[in-house]
Amino acid sequence: MKKTNGKTYAGIVLVAILVLLLANPRLLPVSQSLRESLEETEKNHMLFQNNSHTTIAQIITLVLAIAIVWLVYQVLKLIFNALAVRGGRTQTVTNLISGLMKYVAVIVAIVWGLSILGVNATAVLAGVGIIGLILGFGAQSLIEDIITGAFIIFENQYSVGDVIILDDFRGTVRNIGVRTTVIEDLGGNLKVVNNSDIRNFQNRSRNISTALAIVAVSYKTDLRKLEKQIAEAMPKLKAEHPDLYLNPPRLLGVDQLADSGINLKFAVDVTEENIFDGQRMLARDIKILFDEIGVEIPFPQVVVHKADN
């Protein structure tokens, strides 16, 4: 969720006061003739009537229209930002709608403003449609980005906050816009990808992830005794890290009979965003546990045989 600073609230209050004053000309500290002119203009131009010249009253009405559009946009943005705090799919949809609102607000302000100044609104809309058709042939990639983004949202392929792997980039989805998706990796690096370029990816947040750790023990270790000790200690490790481990770690078994020792594989379920923290913590916990129960973790050794002469 984006933080809303005091300037935004102050701007909304000031614009609301401006709208109130302009919508009620009698409250303005101006001459009676200007009030009457403004009131007459509001009656005519707020209904999009044509006029041959621009007057002060028209300009004031134009400012009023722009202020209303801005005020409505800011209030709606505050509402959607409040909804986005829920995260997940709700935040994804609200971010997309917020992005669309910018374009809608600009279009409404332009059409409304031109109508107040005496331009035929129907002709403006028709012109916009023709220009849009012309640009559509030269902006096929843009249209493809928008359509793909819509399918991503409606099919719920991923949401804001999900961890995805796109090509060789792994990161958390920070924003899904009309055209692009923003992904942030663990180093804080942002990758902005056109929605139409997101084809083959992995969504790692839909299922529980498993953190693994491989720890070696000496060949002299009694595996049966060690397995019992590990089974007794695992619930305690879960209690030590309730926010990281989703359940007690478990011993999967012997992974390899290596050159210097027996490799044991351990696993614990975590959320995808904690996968690396889980791996590091699991290895640390196993090392501390082995130290406490007196299990040797071997290091590479070289055995030299001296031939008899």
Domains of the chain in start order, with CATH, are 6-138 (no CATH), 150-203 (2.30.30.60), 209-293 (3.30.70.100)
Residue pair 139/161 in contact (Cβ under 8 Å)? The answer is no
Q: Coil, strand or helix: which one is 126? A: helix
pLDDT score recorded for residue 228: 93
**For residues 158-169, average pLDDT:** 87
Residues 6+ apart with CB under 8 A from 117: 51, 54, 58, 62
pLDDT top residue among 126 and 137: 126
pLDDT of residue 292: 92
Average model confidence (pLDDT) across the chain:
76
Q: What is the pLDDT of residues 172-195, one digit of tens each?
A: 988 887 788 899 988 889 999 988
Q: Are 160 and 175 in contact (CB under 8 A)?
A: yes
Residue 86: per-residue pLDDT: 56
Picking from 101, 100, 128, 130, the residue whose alpha carbon sits closest to that of residue 114 is: 128
Q: CA-CA distance, 172 to 170, in Å (whole number)?
A: 7
What confidence category does residue 5 fall into, taking pLDDT thresholds of 50, 70 and 90? Answer: low
> Using the 8-state DSSP alphabet, how is residue 305 labeled?
P
Residue 158 confidence (pLDDT): 85
Mean pLDDT score, 185-210: 87
pLDDT band of 34, cuts 50, 70, 90:
low
Please report the pLDDT score of residue 48 as a whole number.
Answer: 40
- Among 113-117, 133-137, 236-240, 242-246, name the one with the lowest average pLDDT: 133-137
pLDDT score at 157:
83
Eight-class DSSP state of 172: E
86 by Cβ neighbours in 10 Å (0-12 / 13-18 / 19+) ranks as exposed
Q: If pLDDT is split at 50, 70 and 90, which confidence band does 229 have?
A: very high
Confidence of residue 54 (pLDDT cuts 50, 70, 90): low
Confidence category of residue 146, pLDDT binned at 50, 70, 90: confident
- Match 């359509």 to its residue by tokens: 147
pLDDT of residue 211: 93
* C-alpha to C-alpha distance for 97 and 90, rounded to whole angstroms: 11
- Placement of tokens 């200007």 in the chain: 34
d(Cα 127, Cα 135) in Å, to the nearest integer?
Answer: 12
Instruction: Tell me what pLDDT residue 93 has.
Output: 67
CA 255 vs. chain centroid, Å, equals 39
Closest CA to 225 of 294, 299, 298: 294
Given this model, what pLDDT does residue 18 score? 59
pTM (2 d.p.): 0.55
Report how far residue 81's alpha carbon sits from residue 160's, in angstroms, rounded to the nearest whole number.
13
| For range 270-280, the mean pLDDT | 92
State the pairing for strand pair 209-217/262-270.
antiparallel
Higher per-residue confidence, 309 vs 292: 292
> pLDDT (tens digit, 9 = 90+) per residue, 82-111?
665 555 556 666 666 766 777 777 777 777
Query: Would you state the pLDDT for residue 275?
Result: 92
Task: Give 139 or 53, the one with higher predicted confidence.
Answer: 139
Instruction: Specify the amino acid at residue 227.
Output: E
Pair of tokens at residue 200: 């083959």
Sheet of 262-270: strand order equals 209-217, 262-270, 250-257
Please give the pLDDT value at position 288: 94
